Structure formats: C-alpha cells, structure tokens
Structure 1
Amino acid sequence: MMTFAFVRRTTGAMILGLVLATASALPSFAATIVTVNGTPISDVQVDQRLRLFNMEGNKTGRKGATDQLITEAIQMTEAKRLGINVSNAQVDEALLQIARNLKVSQDRLIEMLGQGGVSSDTLKDRLRAAIAWNAIAEAAVVPNVQISDLELDQQAAARLADYQGFDYILKEIVFVGAGASGRTAQANQYRSNFTGCDGAVQLSLSYTDAAVVDIGRRHATQLPEAMAKELAGMNVGGITKPRVVEAGVSMLAICEKTQAQDLTFMKDEVRAEVGSGNMEKEAAAYLENLRKNAKIIYN
C-alpha cells in the first residue's frame, strides 16, 4: 500500500500548525450569510474565524475567513457522502496533540484560545474538518495517484551520484563514553594501528570501553552523504575518521566493498517526493471539483 508524505504533511499543517479554528455553538440570533450544500454559515462564525486569523497573522480578512469556512463545509459534505465519520475521541486526541506540541497543558491551550476570543468548540470544529479531509484523501485521492516503476527507476538513476555506487560490509568501532576530546585521541590512535577487520576486535582490547559492532551489509544510498563520500574514497581495510556520536566516538571500517547500483532506497525517496507532488495536484483538483458542484447560496 503506497503511503504519501503529503497526506501526513497536510494533516500536520491543518492540525498541528494552526492552533485555531471554525465555529462553536452559535447564539440563536446569528445571521446566515451563506449556505453550503444546505449547511448555514453565520456572521458569528466568520467573526470567530477573523479572530483566529488575527492569532495566526493571516491577513486575508473577512473574504478569506468566509472562503475557508465554505471549504470546510464542502469537505464535511463529502465526508458524509463517503460515509466518513470523525469521532469526538479523534478530535479530543488531536486537541491534546496540539497542546503537547505547544508544550502546554490542554487547559492552558483552551485558555489561550479564550484570550483571543475563540472557544474550544471552534478549534474542535476545524480539527474535525481537517481529520475528515485527511480520511477523504486516503479513501478517494490516494488510489488515483499512479507512479510507474519505469518513472521511479529513471528518476532514481538520475539522482545516483558516483559515490553512491558501492555496496559495503562494515564494522563500527565505538569508543564509549563522554569526553569527546580524550576519546577522539584514543580513536585516532586505534585508527593508526588498524590493519583490517580481522584484527578489529583484538586491537580494541588494548583500549578501555572500546566496542566493535558488526554493521553488516549496507549500500551507499543507505548511508549519510558525508559518510558515503568518505567510504567511496577508501579501499577494503580502510577506516573512517572518528565522529562524535551519542554513545561516544565512532568509526566505520570497510570489510568488503563492491561496485553495485542499488536503486531501492533512492526509489523510496523518489516515490515519497513524486507521490507527494502528484497527491497535492490530485487533492487540489478533487477539492476544486467539489467546489464547482457545491450548492453555494449567498444571502
């Protein structure tokens, strides 16, 4: 099943990036200014959205607020048509996630919204629409996004650099512990005495808290760019310069090295990028079609 970063990114942008929202329970005197597929949008809702825009720094004004509410009404209509229901539990979890990302409590989040004149129900309404649209995209848009294997192969091959044309069997030598300067000096000493993978463990016994880990087979496309470039310029029996890592100081030793083109990991990267681009276009076209066919009546 193909998944696309776009879907996650769109949801994150709607749910995590905008701590703001649509309309809460509205007073009985609210005047309807537009009806979308039978769903009324009131002047109070637009006023609420304008307040949210002020919190966001959104400068599109009342028209932008109205358009955004219309879009969400259209999305909720489509969700209903497809049988997509967003539970209160899903909305509550999304609200809690926003609070976590802001590093505040949920009560504090609601208080912040209140200070801007926005009720928690307003935020929950927007979250509900965002979650619904994400489900619509997965159900109705993703299946229409096609990426051929030929296209993936061509784009992946075009991206492959010379230093990424190797397959390795690697060992990692780690000098464990804090004190990077002291450990780096010992690692450099180890490196100067290193004669190949066969003697890696025996050599490590001369040092305190030095470990040799079998990394196994790795293709260059699986490695960080800087590491892949360094390894590409070395022969079997070579060992990289010490690098400070979380555990201490690390080096990689080449036990085997063969020339090999492996597009697997590059194709995964291309698939995500191309899929995201295609997904964006398909989702935009899908929404535009919904808008064209929506019954929008301005009062």
Structure 2
Amino acid sequence: MMANGFWGRATSAMIVGALLTVAAAMPALAQSVRVTVNGTPITDMQIAARVKLFALEGNKSGTKGATEQLIDEAIQIAEAKRLGVTVSNAQVDDGLLQVSRNLKVSQDKLVGMLQQSGVNVETLKDRLRAAIAWNAVTEQAIMPQVQVSDLELDQKAAGQVAPYQGFDYILKEIIFVAPGGQGASGRTAQANRYRTSFAGCDSAVELSMGFTDAAVIDVGRRHATQLPEAIAKELANLNVGGITKPRVIETGVSMLAICQKTQAQDLTFIKGELRSQAGNQALTGQVANYLANLRKQAKIIYN
C-alpha cells in the first residue's frame, strides 16, 4: 500500500509538472507571427489587442488598420534607435498620465476602462512609446527641413488685414469687480453710469472713486490685431477719449478706454498665426513623406 501511495504521488507530481510545462509554453505557441518588419515580428495577439483598443476609441479600421499601425510603429521605433533616440519607462508613464488628464479621469480609472474592454494597459503603453519616439524623430530629423517663406507670409498677411485692424492704441481698462459674474447685471448698470460720465483717460481714476469696487488698469499699447475681433471693431469706431460698452468677464464687468489712437499696420501677429498654420501643414506633409520613404525601404513580410 505504501508503494502504491508513493507511485500515486509521484505520478501526480509528474502530471502536474507536465501541465505546468505545457501551460508555460502555451502563450508562445498561441502567438503566430503575422508580419515581420525588418526582422521584428508582429503577432496575431498584438494585432488582436490593438483591434480591441481601436474598438474602445471608436476606430473602425479593424484588423487591417491595426496591422498597418503596428507596422508603422515598428518602423518608427527602428528609425528612432538609428538616430540614437531612447524612450524611458518614465516617459511612457508620463504619457499615460497625460492621456488620463485629457480624458479627465484618474489613471486608475483609465486602466479600469481599458480592462473592462479587454485591453491590457501595455497595449496603450506600446503605442505611446512609439508616438514619443516618433515625436523625437520629427523634432530631430524632420522639423529642421521645414521652411516657410517670409515673402509669402507678408503677402498673405497683408491681404488678410481688415480696415478695423489698421490702428494702434494705448488703452486703459475699467473693471467693476464681480467675482465669478455674481451680480453682473447690477455692476453693468454702474459701468454704464461710469461710461456716461467718462471724459477721457486723465480723469478715469478720479471718476472711478465714486463707485464701489471699481478699478482702472493701464493696459498699455495694443495693436488691433492683438485684440478680439469684436473689441477691435468697436474701438475702430471710437475716437480718443471714447470707451467701449460694458462686457461681462470672469472677474466682473469690463470696459476699454482709448487714451491714444494712431493709424498703423502691424502684420506681426497675423504673420505669427499664418507661420504656425503654414509650418504645421508643411511639417505634416514632411512627416508623411518621411514615413512613406522608410516604409519603401523596409523589408515587410506578410505571413
């Protein structure tokens, strides 16, 4: 009986050991390589995980879209390595935190949302790692190639200047304090009384003393292109000594008074916006071309 018990235990141990060995081998066996990119394998499990992430995001490109994205990422990471770019785990964690902030949820909540949809957080981290690496490649290798013509910007900016944007001002702001907009209607009535009595910037502070919680702030020089369109249009129709209608702002009720007004065309701010737009468009095109060329040179094998 003792012998039988010994063999029974030994056999059980062998079976358990065999099962553990098989279980350990199962993940590797379950994964089959669908694509190889310059020797880097992309498995069906990676693709399936990315499809689940797509579904959570509302991306309907499915298996094909997931496969192509993973191919791009393999190429991007390889290019980053070639250029000496490394991405730390801390950078990836910071990226994950930023995603949760953008979604206005905690990081734990984000991870829970992923898990509920059957998405491992590592799937998102893999994509973040590739995105961070590619951003570094863009800054290092692509952005220096982007050039925007100043002559074209000057011509385009000049064509966009409206008549009301042709003035330079020295302004004062008169604020009737109403934190959070509380009591704004009453403060607007007081601001209108102030406006009726306003006789120019020199007496602006003295006039404000007759009102409770009214402040006069020196705004200084502003060109019309620096101001919101509605305010710039209103100021254009006023002379020196004029004051705008009351506007409710976060801190209360605001009016702007014109202390000086001169005809002046300043394209600086319009050019700045145009430069940003043109630069972004040019950069987007350059990035797409750069990646397309890398794909042409890559050895991509579909299994």
The verdict on a shared fold, with TM-score over 0.5 as the criterion, is yes
Q: Which runs of 4+ in 1 moved over 3 A?
A: none
Cα drift, residue 54 of structure 1? 1.6
Aligned twin of 2:81: 80
C-alpha separation in 2, matches of 1:57 and 1:99: 17
- What is the correspondence of 1:287-298 to structure 2 with a 5 Å cutoff? 287-298=291-302
Aligned twin of 2:3: none
Cα shift readout 1:217-265 (whole Å, capped 9, x = no counterpart)? 0000000000000000110000000000111100000000000000111
Cα drift, residue 115 of structure 1? 1.4
Q: Would you say 1:235 and 2:236 are equivalent positions?
A: no
The answer for unaligned runs of 5 or more in structure 1 is 1-25
Could you tell me whether the CA contact under 8 Å between 2:165 and 2:232 is conserved in 1? Answer: yes
Could you tell me whether the CA contact under 8 Å between 2:73 and 2:130 is conserved in 1? Answer: yes
Q: Would you say 1:286 and 2:290 are equivalent positions?
A: yes
Aligned twin of 2:93: 92
Cα drift, residue 204 of structure 1? 0.7
Q: Would you say 1:27 and 2:31 are equivalent positions?
A: no
Aligned twin of 2:130: 129
SS of residue paired to 1:217: strand
AA paired with 1:67? E
Aligned twin of 1:170: 171
AA paired with 2:39? G
Cα drift, residue 69 of structure 1? 0.7
Aligned twin of 1:183: 187
- What is the correspondence of 1:253-292 to structure 2 with a 5 Å cutoff? 253-292=257-296
Aligned twin of 2:23: none
AA paired with 1:235? N
- What is the correspondence of 1:14-93 to structure 2 with a 5 Å cutoff? 27-29=27-29, 30-93=31-94
Cα drift, residue 52 of structure 1? 1.4
Q: Would you say 1:225 and 2:229 are equivalent positions?
A: yes
Query: RCO higher in 1 or 2 (8 Å CA, sep ≥ 6)?
Result: 1
The answer for unaligned runs of 5 or more in structure 2 is 1-25
AA paired with 2:134? W
C-alpha separation in 2, matches of 1:294 and 1:37: 6
Taking structure 1 as the reference length, the TM-score comes to 0.90
AA paired with 2:142? V
AA paired with 1:42? T
Aligned twin of 1:202: 206
Cα shift readout 1:250-297 (whole Å, capped 9, x = no counterpart)? 000000000000011111100110101111111111111111111101
Cα shift readout 1:50-107 (whole Å, capped 9, x = no counterpart)? 1112212222221111111101111111111111111100000111121222232222
C-alpha separation in 1, matches of 2:215 and 2:111: 51
**Higher share in helix:** 2
Instruction: Report the count of equivalent residues.
Output: 274
Could you tell me whether the CA contact under 8 Å between 2:53 and 2:124 is conserved in 1? Answer: no
Taking structure 2 as the reference length, the TM-score comes to 0.88
Amino-acid identity (%): 69
C-alpha separation in 1, matches of 2:268 and 2:87: 37
C-alpha separation in 2, matches of 1:248 and 1:150: 43
